[in-house]
Amino acid sequence: MYREERDEELGRAGWSRRFSGPVNKLQDSIDLYESLGMEVLLDDLSARELAAECGDCALAVTFFKVLYTRRRQE
C-alpha cells in the first residue's frame, strides 16, 4: 500500500511512474527521458513494498529505485 500512496503523492505533483530497476542500470533510461525534455526523479523502494515472504530480501531494495518522469517545469 505504501507505493500506491507515494505514487498518488507524486502524481499530484505531475510525476508519472515508469518502472523500477537496479540503480546501476538506470542511466540509459534517465538519459533517454531527459533527451525527450522530461524531468526524472528516482525514488527509493521501501522494504514495506516487499511481500511478507521476501522479508529476508529487505537489503535488496537498496539496489533498486523507482523511476518517475514529468514534463520539464519551466
Model pLDDT for residues 15-32, shown as the tens digit of each residue: 999 998 899 999 999 999
Counted domains in the chain: 1
Q: How far is CA 30 from CA 6, 25, 56, in A?
A: 20, 10, 30
- Give yes or no for residue 49 having a pLDDT over 90: no
- Give yes or no for residue 53 having a pLDDT over 70: no
Report CA dihedral (12, 13, 18, 23) to the nearest 10 degrees: -130
Of 49 and 19, which is predicted with more confidence? 19
Dig out the grid coordinates for 23 from the structure.
Answer: 540503480
Containing structural domain, residue 6: 2-71
pTM of the model: 0.82
Q: Work out whether strand 64-71 and strand 38-44 pair parallel, antiparallel, or are unpaired.
A: antiparallel
- Residues with Cβ < 8 Å from 52, sequence gap 6 or more? none
